Amino acid sequence: MAIDGIATPGKIIAVHLNYPSRASQRGRTPAAPSYFLKPASSLAATGGTLERPAGTELLAFEGEIAVVIGEPGRRIAPADAWSHVAAVTAANDFGVYDLRAADKGSNVRSKGGDGFTPFGPALIPATDLSPDALRVRTWVNGELVQDDTSDTLLFPFSQLIADLSQLMTLERGDVILTGTPAGSSVVVPGDVVEVEVDAPDASGSPSSGRLVTRISQGAEPFGDHGTKPAVDDLQRVEAWGSEEELAAAVAAGRATAPSGSTAPTGSRDAATSTPVFELTDDLRERLGRVGVATLSVALRKRGYHDVVIEGVHALRPGQRLVGRARTLRFVPFRPDLFASHGGGFNAQKRAFDAVERGEVLVVEARGERRTGTVGDVLALRAKFRGAAGVVTDGGVRDADAVAEIGLPVFSQGPHPAVLGRRHVPWETDVTIACGGAAVQPGDVIVGDGDGVIVIPPALVEEVLAETEAQEREDAWIAQQVARGESVDGLFPMNADWRARFDREEQGR
C-alpha cells in the first residue's frame, strides 16, 4: 500500500466527533476537536477477518476518511495544511463498547486491538483532490448504512492538521482518522463490513476501492489481568446508534434484549411487542404541575407505601424536578476498597459524565449525611449534560456554589467533608435503595417542596390521571373555603357537596 515510499505510520490519530450527523445522534456538538491514539499494530488490510473478542457483545464499526501525511511539519498553518497531505483512503475505526469503562476516554483497549483499524485498499493521491469534495460510504452485508461528505465536517482537515501540529510534529506516513458520520452501529459474527472513500466529482472519480472486513467470533476468554468486558442497556443504545436500531436488532435476534429496567424509551418489548414506557414531553409537563403529596396518595392506593425518598429536600426552595432515574451506589468507606475503586474515573465520575438530558441521577448514600456526595464540579457537569436534577440521601458539598448552578438538587443537606470520609463509589445503573425507597434505572422521579417520590413506569399514566383529577377537586374545595365555607361536610365532601362539584365539573 506504499505511496512514494510511505511506510507503516508512526502515529494513528483519531478524532472523536466530527460530522454533524453523528453529533446529532450523540446529542452533543463539540466546540473544538478532541482526539485519541490508536497503535500501529491495530492496522489491518482489506479482505481480512476481525474477531469479536470472546465475552463481548458490542463490536461497532465506524467508516472514516483517513488522511495520510506526506510532508512532515510542525505548527502548520491551516492554509498550508493540505500541501502536507500525501493521500486519503478508507479506514474502519472498530471499537468494543464492552471495554470502554476502564479506558477513561483513552480507547486503548476498546479501540486498540489487533486488526481494529482496517485501512485501504488503495491510497488516493491528494494532489488533484479537493479536501471538501470527498465521500465516505459504509455497507453492512451489502446494505448502505453510512453516506456522508467532507464538506459537512465540523472541523475540516486543515483545522485538524493545524491543531495537532501545534504540539507534535506530524511525520511522513502518520494517519489521521477524521471521524465517522451517523450510521455507525454494531456488527456480529458472520457480518461483512465494507467502507469506500471516493471523490465522485473529481476527474476519473478516484476511489479507495472497497475496504472489506469479515467478522468472526473469538474464542480466547479474557484473563484476570484487568477490567473485564461489561455492558448495560444505555451502552447498547449508544453502540447500536439509537433506541429504534436496538429494538430492531433485538427483534431480529442480533442484539441482547434490554433487562427491562433500562429498556430504551420508544422501543417495543421483543417478546410481547407491547410499547415500552416513554416519558414524553407531555407527561413530563403534566407531572411537573402536580404535587408529590397527591401522587403519593394515588400510589398508596395501589399498595406502594415506600416510594418516597425520605429525608431529602431541595437545596434551593421552590425547585422541582421530573425525569427518569439513572442510579449511583456508594458503599461504606474501607481503605482497601477506596484504593481500588475511589480514584481515577470512578463510578461517581462516570455517573455524572454519562447522565443524559432529562434524566435524574439518584444516589444511594445509605442516609449518611456527614459527608458530601456531590459538589460544584460534578453538579456543573450534570447541568451541562442536560440532567433534570440530582437526588441523594447523603450530603452536598460546596452547597452555595451548587445552588448557584441552578440544577435541582435534593439531599439531606450541606456538609463540607469530601466523599472519601464515609463512602466508596461502587457501581452505576443498578437497583439501589435511596432514602428507604427502591429505585431502578428508568423509574420516574418527581420532586417538589414536599419531597421526592419514585413511580414505576408502568403506573405513571394511571397515577397521573388520578392525581390530576384529585388536584382539581382539592383546588375546588380550597376555593369554597376561601369564600368562607366551613370545612364540615366539605373536606372531605359529603353527598351534597359532591353533587355540586360534579355539576360544575360537567359544566366545564
Backbone angles phi, psi at 397, to 5 degrees: -95, 155
Task: Indicate the DSSP class of residue 82.
Answer: G
Bridge-based pairing of strands 43-44 and 117-118 is parallel
- Residue 365 near residue 333, CB atoms below 8 Å: no
CA angle 381, 385, 388 (to 5 degrees): 100
Residue 355: exposure state from Cβ atoms within 10 A (0-12, 13-18, ≥19): buried
| Cα gap 35→14, rounded to integer Å | 5
| Cα gap 297→127, rounded to integer Å | 73
| Cα gap 113→41, rounded to integer Å | 8
Kindly report the length of the chain. 508
Question: Cα–Cα distances in Å, from 52 out to 15, 56, 186, 358, 400?
Answer: 23, 7, 11, 34, 49
Task: Indicate the DSSP class of residue 174.
Answer: -
377 marked ligand binding residue: yes
With residue 469 as reference, give the H or E element that holds it. helix 460-482
- Residue 171 near residue 10, CB atoms below 8 Å: yes
| Cα gap 348→326, rounded to integer Å | 12
Give SS3 for 31. Answer: coil
Task: Give the number of other Cβ atoms within 10 Å of residue 74's Cβ.
Answer: 12
Give 32-59 as a DSSP string: S--EEEE-GGGEE-TTEEEEEPTT---E
Amino acid at 460: V
375 marked ligand binding residue: yes
398 marked ligand binding residue: yes
Give 239-308 as a DSSP string: HHSSHHHHHHHHHTTSSPPP-STTPPTT-B-TTT-PBPP---HHHHHHHTTS-HHHHHHHHHHTT--S-E
Angle of helix 376-384 versus helix 347-354 axis, rounded to 10: 30
Query: 359: which strand partners?
Result: 324
Long-range contacts of 218-226 (CB under 8 A, 24+ apart): 218/51, 218/52, 218/53, 218/54, 219/54, 220/53, 220/54, 221/54, 221/55, 222/53, 222/54, 222/55, 226/102, 226/109
Most distant CA atoms of the chain, gap in Å:
96
* Residue list, annotated binding site for substrate: 375-378, 397
* Residue list, annotated binding site for Mg(2+): 398
* Residue list, annotated binding site: 375-378, 397-398
